[in-house]
Structure 1
Amino acid sequence: MIKMKKNKLILASVAALMAVSPVLSFGSQVHTVQAADSSVRKTVMHNSIAYDKDGNKTGRKYITYGSIYVDPTPVTINGNQYYKISGKDQYVRVTNIDGVRRRVTHNAYIYRTSTQKTPYGMTASSKKWKLYKGEIVTTYGGYYTFKNGKHYFKVGGPRKQYVRTANLGPVIGTNTSTSSNNSSNTTINNTQPVGKYETTVTVTTPYTYLFTEVPGKIQVQRTNKRVKKGDKFVVDRLEQGTRAGTGQDGDDDNELAIYHIKGTDYWIYNNDVQAAKQLSVQSYNKTDKSLITMDQPVEVYNADGTSQNIRIKKNDSAWRVDSLSYIWVAKENKAELFYRLHLNGEYRSVYRLTNNGDYVSDRVPIKNAYIKASEVKVDPNGLKLTPSNTAAEAEAAAKK
């Protein structure tokens, strides 16, 4: 049982955060708070069995997203790292609290169940439904076995967010500091970041608004939630790009960025806070346009499925498209899915079919141009289009 005196100390250190109850309602994952007696509040990210100092089970279990108070420096028991529950002979695995870092080895969807996908980390409007090869992600605890028999690591919360273990590599690092929390560790108002890639920010302007994502909007939108000068938050991402509005009017130096408040759907602008340490700036460039790329020469068609006798050259540009529909291709006797290029006579470099049957390099105006969806790649930063008809409807229309 934690003494009332310690409760008061902890409450005092986080009192500023109480002004934003939605932030705290995501609870537990948001902050690590250090009290005067050096115990630290942590969030349980994976169900955790409590062990004694000899590594034997105590019969106590700590449930996901609950808060616990632990001694800040991990101890090693039988080769594994544990946090000691403050004031008790109980120890919980560090990996269930702080997690470990792994590299994504294959593009991976995020799931909430064996059949249902879910967005990762932020709000559903962020459309981050996938982790891409090369990204680094934190996983918590051991894997879960879903009903489909496959194994998944927990990667976030408080929403259920899991990734197939087959899509992640081995552990490449931890988020746990192994040094003791003494005077050599700088703290701000007794609030410390949980992991290596997180930091604490302090609000420097009076009554600053928090921002969040809104469906249909690229840039984060202001909420009616305000925080006061001196309030502190643990943040886990610093981002520039379209979501932050980098480069908009008034941002002539292109330095505008946003911090994501850990465990919530809220963001706060970098010019309203002071960070305890600098985070690496991440780039995020979603757009409200639909974009495709071409890594091979692509045949251009008319709306009736006949060829325009030109092929767009392989290039590294992102091409804007404005519709996706099935078109009956009589020559192939089937309906194909086509994107319509957002061009109205603009000149582009192509290969043009000559009268003698050879293709020659040329620049020609492109208009009413359609290209097969199967021959291009969709830019994940662009707006996703859905077909405006079905293959059967396209066939019926062509054979009237």
Structure 2
Amino acid sequence: MTKKLFRYLAVAILGISASLVLNQQTNTVEAKSIIKTVMHDAQACDLYGDKVKGKYAAYTQVKVDDDPISFRFKPFAPGYKISGKNKYIKASNIDGVKRKVKHNSFVYATSSRRADSRLLKKGKTITTYGNSFKFKNGLRYYRIGGPKKQYVKAANLGKIIGSNTEETTVTVKTKGADITDYAYIDSDDEDIVKRVKKGTKFKVDYAQYSSMDIDDPDGYEYHIKGTDFWIWHRDVKADKKIPIHDYKFEHFTYIMFYKDTDVYNADGTKQDHHGQKIIKQGGFIKVNKLLYIWIKSKNKAELFYHLAGHQFYATDLPDGSSGSDVINVGQGYVKKKDVKFIDGLKLSPSNTPEEARQAAKQDTNKKAE
């Protein structure tokens, strides 16, 4: 496989910061539009799953980009972008998901009337669309088809076992293509499991960015279904596009310092670096926690990010002299309002303002003992 480079480069050459620059290249190829049928009433949302204006009724058609995406919230399920608009629909409302039948099941049109004479036998894999419906009898059902009403009791079906949006067939187009045993790599070392012949076909069910390749800035690999193995996308031709997941952005959160920023301790007191602050800087700064900290001087709780890094480039001293190039913040925190969320996993607070107040009160009592 062609030698690869790191997808991300550290801002600090000294290795002193968790500040990262995402070396992404803009895809200049315009997405093509395709027509999809909405199989379950769908609410439009943004990339992070928050509702936006727009609802799409079941069995209506909608124009979407043909390049599905993965949402930036757990479980990072796939979705489609509405063509020409900054809004999305969950793919489960369009393509559906796969489930196993746990108990022999009939197909219903209503809670009291069957849609037809079919019996879905235990062990069969079927496609369901969207969330379940609660019928008049108090039981929940999943839609399995249409446009006529077809539902199966939710209790008779298992958990999601696959996504129709994320599965496709790939055909090897490169002579002696490599199969490796993992997708996300941070070095040039790879464990090659075997090489396969041109024309070999594989079912794949997941795609994930690995590292950046010199010849291919959008380097990603396909997961071969039912195995622990992966194959690089440049070596194959896929029957259809599937969403490409990004490990870094599905596991970490990134902010930027849009202004010179003060750093705080876990007790809400401002750190003293002789007047120096973290300097305004672009790039991607990794944080790993969002929480409320009680500010005793203000008698209120505020939201803070916990910095994953410990050393950052610094402003000059108040008198204008350069001082130290960097400051060591240790277990440092920055106010959420002082920084800007850039990308990655959108964090939720790990505590409440009241919990922060009680923690501060307990800490004060301990110090007084």
- Fold in common (TM above 0.5): no
Q: Which protein shows a greater Rg? A: 1
Using the size of structure 2 for normalisation, the TM-score is: 0.41
Larger relative CO (CA 8 A, sep 6+): 1 or 2?
A: 2
